Amino acid sequence: MHAIRYERVGGPEVLRLVEAPLPEPGGEQVRVAVRAAGVNPADWKTRQGLMPGPPEFPRGIGVEIAGVVDAVGPDAAWRVGDEVIGWSVGGGYAEYALATSLVAKPGGLSFADGVAVPVAANTAGGGLEALAVKSGETLLVNGASGAVGAMVVQLARAAGADVIGTASAANQAVVARFGARPTTYGEGVAARVREIAPRGVDAVFDCAGHGFLDAAIELRGGTDRIITIADGTAADKGVRFYSRAGATALDLVEKVAQRVATGEFVLPGPARTYPLAEAAAAQTESETGHGLGKIVLLV
Ligand SMILES: NC(=O)c1ccc[n+]([C@@H]2O[C@H](COP(=O)([O-])OP(=O)(O)OC[C@H]3O[C@@H](n4cnc5c(N)ncnc54)[C@H](OP(=O)(O)O)[C@@H]3O)[C@@H](O)[C@H]2O)c1
């Protein structure tokens, strides 16, 4: 099978399309014939050595897949032919990937849209739980137009919260479509938020970083009920860096996928697709940190 592998940390050029052995599922694992692989910021951060990766080289890359179960381990809960979305083991940028954390892909959802759900929904739901956001409270979301931010806004709105979301000037209408009151990020953001919510905000979910935490602390009057998933300086400022890596809320992911399939939840934009062989270009686009819609490798 074809798969993307890399032999050292570095720029996008270290990613290579290679011939690799077909992985065999054991225990509860299944092998998924990958139709779409999600390109997440964590992928290029790992490739650059900014996040821990598996100890061995050459390595696979990518954690998020949508596809069709193609072979099952002896204890697997899935059958050959099931359409699934979820997390891959050992590299999702590949024609076939092993997996255990999966949910059924709703029939009405394409593979490219389905693969936009697992990481975003799981991170958004976990972060909202950590912030204990309740109905009637005001939540501020930085980076509300992104993959995770979009899910944070829609899950918080569904839970009855009032949401203010930041995005670039170009993406204000998109954030409003998710149900948030939009404003732009950058210089003066605290004053703009205060104008929208003169009585303050109850919690802050930073999905983008870029030096937003000072404004968040100013708006909250302290570090209580602020989380970031993107700002590495969080600990220095006494803010909680939230990560749900490895802990998956499969029920929530399945529910969100169904809501996306019925149109109750919307994705930030249509998937921006690349062939598997162009993984480097896909990651280069992800590194810009802008643009609407999930970046997806079609396999
Ligand atoms: N800790 C975890 O468990 C976890 C899990 C998932 C993701 N993450 C991290 O969360 C971040 C977002 O991931 P994603 O998949 O949602 O990325 P994404 O889809 O690329 O979204 C990036 C977001 O950042 C916004 N942005 C860009 N420049 C900004 C600035 N200067 N100030 C404020 N916002 C800015 C973008 O807005 P515009 O497009 O409107 O400019 C967009 O809303 C990444 O850093 C990722 O590594 C962490």
CATH of the domain at 160: 3.40.50.720
pLDDT tier for residue 128 given thresholds of 50, 70 and 90 = very high
Residues 53 and 111 in one domain: yes
Q: What is the mean pLDDT of residues 51-61?
A: 90
Ligand 1 atom closest to 149 (CA): 16
Q: Does the pLDDT at position 38 exceed 90?
A: yes
Q: Does the pLDDT at position 20 exceed 80?
A: yes
Q: Does the pLDDT at position 103 exceed 90?
A: yes
Residues in contact with 190: Cβ distance below 8 Å, sequence separation at least 6, in sequence order: 215, 218, 219
Q: Which residues of 133-154 are buried (b: 16+ CB within 10 A; e: fewer)?
A: beeebbbbbbbbbbbbbbbbbb
Using a 6 Å CB cutoff, which residues line ligand 1? 40-42, 45, 119, 123, 142-143, 145-149, 166-168, 171, 185, 207-210, 212, 229-230, 242-245, 289-290
Beta strands at 30-39 and 96-104: parallel, antiparallel or unpaired? antiparallel
Residues 12 and 105 in one domain: yes
Residues 7 and 19 in one domain: yes
Whole-number pLDDT of residue 52: 84
Range of the structural domain that residue 160 is part of: 120-241
CATH of the domain at 282: 3.90.180.10
> Does some domain include residue 253?
no
Q: Does the pLDDT at position 69 exceed 90?
A: yes
CB atoms within 10 A of CB 268: 23
Ligand 1 atom closest to 120 (CA): 6
Q: Sign of dihedral through CA atoms 142, 291, 16, 110?
A: positive
Tell me: the pLDDT tens digits for 209-261? Answer: 999 999 999 999 999 999 999 999 999 999 999 998 777 899 999 999 999 99
Residues in contact with 258: Cβ distance below 8 Å, sequence separation at least 6, in sequence order: 106
> Does some domain include residue 135?
yes
> Does some domain include residue 93?
yes
Q: Does the pLDDT at position 9 exceed 80?
A: yes
Whole-number pLDDT of residue 291: 81
Whole-number pLDDT of residue 17: 98
State the total domains in the chain: 2
Answer whether 140's CB lies under 8 Å from 158's CB.
Answer: no
Q: What is the mean pLDDT of residues 150-166?
A: 98
Answer whether 273's CB lies under 8 Å from 299's CB.
Answer: no
Residues 131 and 87 in one domain: no
Tell me: the pLDDT tens digits for 161-172? Answer: 999 999 999 999
Whole-number pLDDT of residue 245: 75
Cα-to-centroid distance, 207 and ligand 1 (Å): 5
Q: Is 284 left (phi over 0), alpha (psi -120 to 50) or beta?
A: alpha
> Does some domain include residue 260?
no
Residues 75 and 148 in one domain: no
Q: Does the pLDDT at position 34 exceed 90?
A: yes
Mean pLDDT across the chain, nearest whole number?
A: 97
Nearest CA to ligand 1 atom 4: 229
